């Protein structure tokens, strides 16, 4: 199966280290043909390893360092628990204008998450994304590079986010493991 034609947004600030806390602007657009990109058919996240893997079957195509929610142990159970979900989901929606450098939404909560939340009378939460750094940094760059800092999302560097954006597509499965 061929990847659909991919529109890659390449910001100027991703080409160098992000040193300032100002908002980032898109400065270039490049079109890549299907033949220039490796094939990826699913995403695997291993929370304990702090790694995101882009996969073609059992073969790792790319591997990225990640940062998780402020409470990384255990599965997400409810809104405000600062945990990153565990389970099988899908990539559902892309947002190149979010408060973070690019974001791809994950289909959390799934049916199992909803049932658990209902059984405990909790709100399951939502808006779980894979994303880059905040457009406006509120802490030092060192903090974002070395600590878990999200509300439950999966954060990567801006350069890594560009690759993930280009190599994945909406509807692709993502398995998030403990």
Report the pLDDT value the prediction gives residue 115, as an integer from 0 to 100.
95
Distance, in Å, from the CA atom of 34 to the CA atom of 90, rounded to the nearest integer, reads 22
Ranges of each domain in the chain: 6-177
DSSP the chain: -PPPPEEEEE-GGGGS-----SPP---EEEEE-GGGS----EEEEETTTTEEEEEETTEEEEEEE-B-BSS-SS---STTS-----EEEEEEEEETTSSBSSEEEE--S-HHHHHHHHHHT-------EEE-SBSS-SS-HHHHHHS--BSS-EE--HHHHHHHHHH--TT-EEEEE-
Q: Which residues pair with 104 in a beta bridge?
A: 94, 130
Report the pLDDT value the prediction gives residue 90, as an integer from 0 to 100.
98
Cβ atoms within 10 Å, residue 29: 9
Per CATH, the number for 6-177 is 2.40.440.10
Query: pLDDT tens string for the chain (178 positions)?
Result: 333 333 333 333 333 333 333 444 443 444 455 567 899 999 999 999 999 999 999 999 999 999 999 999 988 999 999 999 999 999 999 999 999 999 999 999 999 999 999 999 999 998 999 999 999 999 999 999 999 999 999 999 999 999 999 999 999 999 999 9
């Amino acid at each position: 199966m061929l990847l659909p034609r991919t529109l890659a947004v390449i910001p100027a600030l991703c080409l160098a280290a992000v040193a300032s806390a100002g908002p980032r602007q898109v400065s270039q657009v490049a079109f890549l043909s299907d033949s220039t990109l490796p094939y990826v058919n699913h995403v695997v996240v291993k929370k304990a390893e702090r790694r995101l893997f882009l996969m073609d079957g059992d073969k790792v195509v790319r591997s990225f360092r990640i940062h998780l929610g402020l409470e990384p142990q255990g599965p997400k159970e409810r809104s405000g628990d600062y945990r990153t979900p565990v389970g099988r989901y899908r990539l559902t929606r892309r947002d190149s204008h979010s408060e973070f450098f690019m974001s791809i939404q994950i289909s959390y909560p799934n049916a199992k998450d909803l049932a658990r939340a209902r059984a405990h009378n909790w709100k399951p939460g939502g808006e779980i994304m894979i994303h880059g750094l905040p457009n406006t940094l509120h802490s030092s760059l060192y903090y974002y590079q070395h600590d878990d800092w999200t509300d439950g999302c999966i954060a990567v560097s801006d350069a890594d986010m560009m690759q993930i954006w280009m190599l994945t597509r909406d509807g692709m499965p993502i398995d998030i493991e403990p």
